[in-house]
Each structure stands twice: as structure tokens, then as C-alpha cells.
Structure 1
């Protein structure tokens, strides 16, 4: 029998001062050239497991069991072999770059291995051509967009010619188009170079069908590991009510929800074909089909946030990032700001939060000009912002201490329970997974009791079950009159839970509407459910809406 390239043998792991195991008796073999997708809820152990596959990133704690690479114990592997043959791409692209220029970033690892200059030049040129980055080869790393930066990180790993490529939620900070491009590049690396890929991800729509095998984790244990279709069919037939199934591809969820039979579809193309065969009914438009219409607030209401013709640039001689940006967000409303990486969404939030002063235009908060509040510190109790990097909010050694620092002494227990943080209170915030850090940071923000909440990519790293709980928290806050503005790449979340959606492009808002008219008919900035159903139910933008239409049609979907 052929030996697995990576073998995990009864691996258990416990973080310091933690009673429960982060990994509980994991055994898994990964063949050379395989593409393994590792999925599961936030805190299920995915990131902890993949970090045990890269010796230099193994977390500190109590370990039992063993990881073997090519038949050898990973801990005994030669340092040069470990560095060159096992590549790792982190979730945050900015945490992996070490030089100032793109070309130097590509060459850095090879220089560290002591390779000759001709070999370095040849490898760098080859990899730049493979990734199509010649046009920004001489640029400063600091000028790259999030998608370009993550692609550079991938290229910098691949120039080392690894046998194994490990990626820990690599698309978490990318917009839908950049994420699709990145994942397609990973697929091409696996198919054309026979590089073994191990990837953790919450956004399963694109990557699920790419994998050879899907491993599902829950509570530090391995629930199952099989082909993508078999895993989807197992959840669809016997476990569709399992919370994890909410994160599966839209085609599989629509199939399960509509009581489908036959082979479970995984892709948009398969889902569209299945739906057209089983629900060939005329399209029904508008709210008559049961799609709720979420409208703008009463014109007489005072906006909680009002931007009018706002211009801003970071450098006096630089280009304007905000170019006449105008928008209104009302109390009791969840507004989602969408757009590509680097278009200025974060700058909008930071400007509203008082971190930047526009050089032109008007900004009002709760009916008052922002200057009336005297600066960012005076916004306390009015505006609170969750930044894209939640670690910026952590100042203490444990989650409990961090929350207590923001608590008024009365609401801590309620917020901890609502954000599902009970098991994390004694952990250091930096030891948490990306999704757990998002939860803890948002809890700290809630304790401030703001009337305007600004969220920068708040759902990145969150599993599908907690997204539902997170949405319920946002809806409760909106019901109490809080205004919520979130910049997001999570189209599915915006389609399901937003009241208003705004598309930001070229420094300003170019389109604004309720979710159904906003997303219906778009090619890229729309949900997978809408792509699947557009030939049958063109104005359905969520899986739930498609299933509802299919079940209510005269033709059964089974």
C-alpha cells in the first residue's frame, strides 16, 4: 500500500490552562497530490490542526500522538526540508510579507535557503509568469490590494517548490471576485503541479467541489472524511438539520430543502440544471412570491449617519480615496456596504468613526455635524467600530479581562452568553481562532452601548451557525433603534439579513437598494442561490427563498 505523504496518528492537543482538548484523537492520512478541504464551526480545531502540519507554527500546549511527513516524524524533519517542502499561507495576508518590494518578496525565501543568483532569478521569473504578476513586479508591497497581496503570498510560497501547500482560510479578507480567482489558482496548482493541498475554509461555495476529499470537524473531533458529494449527500439526507450544513454550497442546501432526489448537486451549474428539471414553473416576480420587501426609512426620519459629497485622501499629493461619497443610514436599519478590495469601504467606516477628517463634504451623526462631538474620543456611546483586524481591540491577557475593561458591571454575563464566549473567557485573545476573535471583539464593542455600530468584515472567520446567531444579535440591536453599517464581502449574509445594500466603487456609492432588487440579475455581486435560480425564480436571492418557491410550485421538486 502506498504511504501517505502526511499522516496524522491519534493526535490530541490541549492549550495551556484549558480543561478541554482543542484536538481530540485525530487520525487522518493525506495522499500525495490530494486536495483536502477541512471545514467545521469556528473553534472546531481546524486552524489548530493545520498548524500542527507546519512545525514552525505548531502552537504551544500539551500534545499526544504524532504527525508524519513522507514517513518521518515531523518534529525530526530537517529544517531545510521543512521550510522548502511544506508551504503555509496565512489568513491575514499582511502578516506574511517581510520585504518592501514584490520582486524581493518572491526572492526572499530562496535567498534564505542560500540558492545561487541565477537559480533565484529563474524561479522568480517562472513564478511571476505563472501567477501573472509581471505588471506589479516592481511595485511596493504596501500598494497592493488585499487580493494581490494574498496572491503574492501564495506565489512566495510556491517559488520554494513545496510538495505540500497548507492554507488557513486564505480568502477570509477577499471580495468574491478576488476569492474566486485565488481559489482557482490553488486548484490549478493542485491539478497541474500535483502539489498536495490542505485548505481550511468557511466560504465553501467555490472550494467544496474542487476538493478530492472533505473532512468535517466539530468540537476538536473528526466527524467524517469522504468525497465532497458523499459528504453533501450524507448531510442532505440524514443531517440537513445539522448546524454545519448551513455553510454547505447553495446547490446542496436547495436540493435538501426542496426534498430532492437523485445525485446531490454541488456547483451553481449542477444546481441550476437540477432546479430547471424539477421546478419548471413560470417566474413569479416581487413580493407576491413571498419575498419580503425591505424599504428605505420614512423620509421624515433623521438619519443616524449622513454623508454628503465627502472627499478624503490619505496624502495631500495622493489620489482621493473618497470621491463625493454620499449615503444615509437610519436607526433600526442594517446597511451593508459592498465592493471590491481597495475601493474605500474601510475608509468610509473610519471616516464616520472620526479617525479621518474629510477635506470636503458634510458628515452628520444623529442629526449633528460630526465636528460637534469634538473628535473620536467623544464618540464614546455614540459610535463604535469593529475594525477589520479584531486584535486591535484586545489589550488584556484574557478574554474575561478584556471584556471587563469595557463593561459597566451589569451586562457582561448577558453579552458573554449571547456571543457564545463562555468557554473562551480564560483564553488569551491572540490564542483564539479568527472567528472566535471576531466574537470576542464584537462583544467588547456591544458593552459600549453605541447608537451607531460600524463593522468592517465582521463575518470573516465565522461559521454558518454563528452567522445566524450574529444576525439575530444585529436584528435585536436594530429593533432597539441602533443604526448598523457593515462593510462586507459576504454576499450571502447581506442578501439574507440586510435592510439596504450599497455598492461602493471609485470612491463613492454607485448603487443602493433593498437586497432583492440589488442582487437579482447581477453576475458577480449576487448570491449563489440567485445564480442557480435565475432561470426559474429570478428575484429569489437566498436559499430559503428558492426552497419556498420550489415547495409552493405546482410541480414537485423531488
Structure 2
């Protein structure tokens, strides 16, 4: 039975001519698991928000969304609040209370349930989600993964029939993201809750789906089962830009000229690759090359020696004796779980946090010797995890113009592909578009060191490649790039050096191939697929190339 019917839905944002949604029609059956995919700005988030009446964006709407046979706009307030749940991209934007237990109870209190019912439901949800150990904690002390799990639990305690999630794993580390998505799968399978999820990170979620809808320029490009979608996009080597975000198994299959059923998971991809390369022995992995021993004549662009930092005088240490060197022109990626100190380290390098012990130098000069004007006009530029922190004007054009002259604005806008967004309010942009606009604002002042905190979250795979090209161009010109990221594939493909953070310090640093080839979980799906055949291959392109080279040694 159809639970959600989208009938010729079109939508246009204020002051825009182009439709964000253009004649969308979909029928979503009760208990189904749907995934919406597409480039940044393709309409995924806009469509998802049209399924939750209270979050519908302001603008001109044509067509209709029906829920359980009734127009969505005609639902009574209680049904709309309880039966349709929504989990936002940024977990911090959805919490409203100070304690975990109160966050779970808040929605139930708001609809007037009795205390015994509230206690029973809260206890049930805390048990299902494994929240007992941090049930009485302050919300602000939770890790990103815990916070997003709390948001999901707070929605599920209302016992919804529909669960809508807008890029819910974009700010989670790979392990936390996998745990979160597995919980969503359990909810769908065990409770028959209908799931509609938008996502750019498709490795885990794509095989879970019953149906995938691919959006392009506000229209449905294709709607089918995951395997059929993957095989269609894989034709001809997977040239469509959207295919770059598909699961690694499908991309290796396409790149190696695969035939037969298209694999979707690591297990299927590993079996397909071993069958393809049957009879061949595994290659010897590359030797580790410790990047910290690189010898350079000039001083490092960033040098940390025994850095210690805590937010409160009597609080716990967040940074614990960090030492590292990043040289001019390098792209360095800081990797690790949520809450291990990556963002704090970037804040210290940016001068936002003052360590109580240790030495921090930028271009051979102590950070304490820079005044603010010099530090933030040509030395350091930082893109925070929340790009909205950089927006202070009513349009993207005004925000960028605040940072530099018109000539520089024109250059950066062209480089970042922002021509069509200049007159939009920054808060009306999709998550990926906000990232692009915020990074453009960082570039306006031409900093020598660029610090990026989760810069690829919300970006589609096609723009990630364009973004990487921009970073490479900057690095070749001598700019130093230091980024904290959960995007292992991006780090494997484009970093010069990778650093693993754990418990407030750097525990490992190496070039991408030996760094990822030595890990089980902090590695790429491509490496997990290929490690028994090509142990040090860490990108899909590399695996596909080696597979073809083995089949055609003289080609």
C-alpha cells in the first residue's frame, strides 16, 4: 500500500527562475527503504523537506504530497509531528535540551503523554539504541556519533511510521556512520518503518535500499532497484558524474570492464575480483615510508612540538603532546574517530585555542609573534565544520565581496562554480553548496595555510573531484592544506600524507598507500575488496587499472 504519494511536485525558491524540483512523481510503499541520490543542488534535500510539513522550504509549490491518502498539508498537528520523523544533517541543530534522558522525553512531553507512558517509551528506546551508559550525561559532552544516535532515538520514541534522514552520516567517522546506518536498517526491517534517506556516502547505504531515485537538476533521472541502477550507470565505464559516488565494488566492476551482475558490497566485490584474477598470486604490499622523516631545507609551514590543550583549567586534556610537521605545498589529512581532537588541533593551529604547553610555529615563526591582522590576512584561512559560521550577509555575493575586491571575487566564483548561486541567501543553499560558498570565502584572502574541517561533507562525488583539483592547484603553488576528514577515499586519492589521531595525539603518519593498506577499518572499501590480490591498492581506479593490466600485460 502506498504510504507517500508525490504527485507532479514542482518547487521554486524565492527570487529564482530555475525550479529546484521539476514535476516529481513517486509512490513510496509502506515499509520500503528509499535512498535519494544526486549531485549537490540536485533537489534531494528540498524533496526530503517537502515530506515533512514543518520543514517545507518557503517558495512557490505546485503539485501535491499525500500521506496515507490525505494531503500532507491537511494532516492534524499531532499526526504530522508523531508519524513523520526527520533527522537533520547536523546533529547539533536538532537537540533542544541539556540532558540525554530529557532529550528522549521532550517530544513525548510536548504531546502530553502521561508520565508512566513516557518512562516506558524512553526506557525502551534507551535499551534499543544502547544509550544506558550515557543516559544521564549532558548532551554537549557527547561525540558526534552519540549525538546523531540520540537524535534518531528521540525521533523513534515518537513511534513514527515514516523516518526521513537528510545526509545523516555526513559528520560521522566511518565506524560511527556504519553503526548508525545499521541501526536505521534494523528499524526498517524490524519495525517496518518506511525510510527515505538522502546521502552522498553510498558505500554502506546503497545495498540496504529497496529503491534508489537518482535526481538531476530537480528531476528524476532514474528510479529502480540498487543493482539495476548501478549496472545502468556502470555502462561504458561509468562515465556519468554521479557514478563517482557509487559503492567501490560497482566502480571497480565498471572500471575493469565487468560483465554479469554488478557487485554492490565489499564481499561481492572481493569475490568478483578474485574470480576475475583467478590463478594469480597476491602482489607484495608496498613498504611503509614514514612521512615525518622527509627532509626539507625550508622550515615546515606548520610545526607542532609537544602541544597540550584543555578547554577548562580543571578539565581533561583534549590534545596530549601532539608533534607534527607539515611542509609547504603538502596536502595533509587528519583522520580518526569523532571526539579524538582533530578539530581542536585545527583550532590551535588557527590561533583560536591557546595551548598551555608546547611550541607552535607557522612558517618558522611562533604563532604568538603574529598579530591578528597578519595571521588572518595571508597566513591562515580556516573552513570550520559548520560553514554557516562564515555567512554574515543576505546573499552569497555580498558575503564574498566582504572578503576581497571584485577582481578576486570573479576569479574565485569561476574557480568554485558559484555563478548560479550569487544572489541566493547562504542559508537557502544545500549543504554541499554551503560548503562551496564557505570555501570560496576562505580563498578570497589567499592564505598560505588553509585549515579545513570536514570540507567534503555534503559534496557530491563529481564536485569532490573538482574540489581536489583546486586543492592540488593551490598546493602546487605552495599553499599548505591541512584537513580533518572522515572521507577516507578522498584522503587516499589526494593526500600527500595521512595522520591518525587517537586519544588526543598523533599515533601514526604515512603516505596514503602504506597508511591505509595496514588498517582494517580506517581504510577504503577499494582496499578491503582488493587486499588479497593487490594489497597496497587503495583507490578504485588503481584496482581497476591493475586488474586490466594483469589481464592484458602487453596492452
* Alignment TM class, shorter chain as reference: over 0.9
1:410 Cα deviation from its structure 2 partner? 1.8
- State yes or no: 1:535 paired with 2:537: no
Match of residue 475 from structure 1: 472
Residue pair 1:540, 1:546 contacting (<8 A) in 2 also: yes
Residue pair 1:296, 1:500 contacting (<8 A) in 2 also: no
1:47-73 deviation per Cα after TM superposition (whole angstroms, max 9, x unaligned): 000000000000000000000000000
Match of residue 371 from structure 1: 368
Match of residue 524 from structure 1: 521
- Structure 2: runs of 5 or more not aligned: none
Looking at structure 2, the residues matched to 120 and 50 of structure 1 have their Cα atoms a distance apart, in angstroms, of 29
Match of residue 63 from structure 1: 61
Q: Secondary structure at the match of 1:510?
A: strand
Residue pair 2:290, 2:510 contacting (<8 A) in 1 also: no
Residue pair 1:294, 1:515 contacting (<8 A) in 2 also: no
1:23 Cα deviation from its structure 2 partner? 0.3
1:398 Cα deviation from its structure 2 partner? 0.2
1:297 Cα deviation from its structure 2 partner? 4.6
Residue pair 1:399, 1:427 contacting (<8 A) in 2 also: yes
- State yes or no: 1:432 paired with 2:448: no
Residue pair 1:295, 1:514 contacting (<8 A) in 2 also: no
Match of residue 53 from structure 1: 51
Residue pair 1:503, 1:509 contacting (<8 A) in 2 also: yes
1:238 Cα deviation from its structure 2 partner? 5.0
1:374 Cα deviation from its structure 2 partner? 2.8
Matches within 5 A, 1:285-434: 285=284, 297-375=294-372, 378-434=375-431
1:260-313 deviation per Cα after TM superposition (whole angstroms, max 9, x unaligned): 11110000000000000001322334679xx99989753323100000000000
Structure 1 residues 292 and 412, CA gap change in structure 2 (3 angstroms): farther
- State yes or no: 1:450 paired with 2:435: no
Structure 1 residues 316 and 292, CA gap change in structure 2 (3 angstroms): closer
Residue pair 2:500, 2:507 contacting (<8 A) in 1 also: yes
1:415 Cα deviation from its structure 2 partner? 1.0
Match of residue 553 from structure 1: 550
1:156 Cα deviation from its structure 2 partner? 0.2
Match of residue 188 from structure 2: 190
1:178 Cα deviation from its structure 2 partner? 0.2
Structure 1 residues 546 and 434, CA gap change in structure 2 (3 angstroms): same
1:403 Cα deviation from its structure 2 partner? 0.6
Matches within 5 A, 1:22-41: 22-41=20-39
Residue pair 2:378, 2:445 contacting (<8 A) in 1 also: yes
Match of residue 217 from structure 2: 219
Match of residue 100 from structure 2: 102
Of 453, 456, 459, the residue aligned with 2:456 is 459
- State yes or no: 1:140 paired with 2:138: yes
Of 275, 278, 300, the residue aligned with 2:276 is 278
1:379 Cα deviation from its structure 2 partner? 3.2
Residue pair 1:15, 1:22 contacting (<8 A) in 2 also: yes
Looking at structure 2, the residues matched to 74 and 417 of structure 1 have their Cα atoms a distance apart, in angstroms, of 40
Q: Secondary structure at the match of 1:380?
A: helix
My pick for the range that moved more, 366-375 or 149-158, is 366-375
Q: Secondary structure at the match of 1:381?
A: helix
1:446 Cα deviation from its structure 2 partner? 0.5
1:8-51 deviation per Cα after TM superposition (whole angstroms, max 9, x unaligned): 00000000000100000000010000000001000000000000
1:321-371 deviation per Cα after TM superposition (whole angstroms, max 9, x unaligned): 000011111111000000000001000000000001110000000110111
1:555 Cα deviation from its structure 2 partner? 7.0
Looking at structure 2, the residues matched to 440 and 116 of structure 1 have their Cα atoms a distance apart, in angstroms, of 47
1:479-533 deviation per Cα after TM superposition (whole angstroms, max 9, x unaligned): 0000100000000000000000000111110000000000003111000000000
Residue pair 1:295, 1:499 contacting (<8 A) in 2 also: no
- Structure 1: runs of 5 or more not aligned: none
Q: Secondary structure at the match of 1:132?
A: coil
1:408-454 deviation per Cα after TM superposition (whole angstroms, max 9, x unaligned): 33221121111111110000000001100000000010011000000
Residue pair 1:373, 1:379 contacting (<8 A) in 2 also: no
Q: Report the TM-score, using the length of structure 2 for normalisation.
A: 0.97
Residue pair 1:355, 1:376 contacting (<8 A) in 2 also: no
Superposition misfits of 4+ residues, deviation over 4 angstroms? 291-297
Looking at structure 2, the residues matched to 10 and 406 of structure 1 have their Cα atoms a distance apart, in angstroms, of 42
Residue pair 2:290, 2:509 contacting (<8 A) in 1 also: no
